[in-house]
Amino acid sequence: MTRSATFSRLTNETKVQIALSLDGGPISLEESIFKDRPKVDHAAQATSSQVISVETGIGFLDHMLHALAKHSGWSLIVECIGDLHIDDHHTAEDVGIALGQTFHKALGHVKGVKRFGTGFAPLDEALSRAVVDLSNRPYAVVELGLKREKIGDLSCEMIPHVLESFAQGAAITMHVDCLRGFNDHHRAESAFKALAVAIREAISSNGTNDVPSTKGVLF
């Protein structure tokens, strides 16, 4: 079964479209929203198993979503045109929501998977931990301890909010903590990589077609 989906979220503030395959492989969008200008490829990668292309207009957000996709084993295309003349809030938040909703759609009914996942990821002096439950109960606790005002063009206050928005759209329970580290770039990136490792485990097969819940349903 192919666990893939496309999704569009169009508002007066942002235009977001996403293609996602949870198991990698080829993916595409029907039509790029960047048809009138050249695409940027700083967060793009194509291998025999994955296709990744992320362009939100916020370079550091692109970098984090590229890392999330790479280490989750996803193929992912994200395109966003947002009101960056105001600030980064609407773009970062809406991309997080839309990515979560695309994930939820691609995953479908939660059955035949491990449901729970745990991930640790270091980046030099930084170490982060993530724990995920495909619970259909959206909840997020994100503690990264970031000190800077911005990393690149992304406000540090928006980094946990992107993760919270993803959890809301994906309908998952998620705890992400940076356990140590002094470089905010390293702290943030290790958090996204730890989340990727946790998600990859949670969505992996448990060898059955059963619903991993005493309730008998998770959807």
Q: Is residue 188 part of a domain?
A: yes
Q: Is the pLDDT of residue 164 over 70?
A: yes
Tokens of residue 9, six digits = 């979220």
Predicted pLDDT of residue 47:
95
pLDDT band at 38 (very low <50, low <70, confident <90, very high): confident
Predicted pLDDT of residue 216:
80
Q: Which is more confidently placed, 35 or 109?
A: 109
Q: Is residue 213 part of a domain?
A: no
Average pLDDT over residues 97-105: 98
**By C-alpha distance, which of 146, 186, 142 is closest to 166?**
142
Q: Is the pLDDT of residue 211 over 90?
A: no
Average pLDDT over residues 205-216: 88
Predicted pLDDT of residue 24:
97
Instruction: Work out the mean pLDDT of the chain and round it to a whole number.
Output: 95
Average pLDDT over residues 14-33: 96
Q: Is residue 177 part of a domain?
A: yes
Rounded Cα gap, residues 206 and 126, in angstroms? 31
Q: Is residue 53 part of a domain?
A: yes
Identify the weakest region by mean pLDDT among 33-42, 94-103, 139-148, 177-186: 33-42
Rounded Cα gap, residues 215 and 136, in angstroms? 12
Write phi, then psi, for 11 (nearest 5 degrees): -135, 180
Q: Which is more confidently placed, 28 or 216?
A: 28
Q: Helix 158-170 to helix 59-72 angle, to the nearest 10 degrees?
A: 40
Q: Is residue 38 part of a domain?
A: yes
Q: Is residue 120 part of a domain?
A: yes
Quickly tell me which residue has 């967060």 as its tokens: 43
Predicted pLDDT of residue 1:
67
Q: Is residue 127 part of a domain?
A: yes
Predicted pLDDT of residue 103:
98
**28 within 8 A of 8, measured Cβ to Cβ:** no
Q: Is the pLDDT of residue 36 over 80?
A: no
**22 within 8 A of 3, measured Cβ to Cβ:** yes
Print the domain residue range for 25. 4-203
DSSP per-residue codes, the chain: ---EEEEEEE-SSEEEEEEEETT-S----SS-TTTTSPPP-TTEEE-SS-EEEEE-S-HHHHHHHHHHHHHHT-EEEEEEEE-TTT-SHHHHHHHHHHHHHHHHHHH-S--SB--EEEEEEEETTEEEEEEEE--SS-EEEEE----SSEETTEETTHHHHHHHHHHHHHT-EEEEEEEE-S-HHHHHHHHHHHHHHHHHHHTSB-SS---SSTTS---
Number of structural domains found in the chain: 1
**165-185, pLDDT tens digit by residue?**
999 999 999 999 999 999 999
Rounded Cα gap, residues 167 and 150, in angstroms? 22
Average pLDDT over residues 50-55: 97
* CATH number, residue 102: 3.30.230.40
Q: Is residue 164 part of a domain?
A: yes
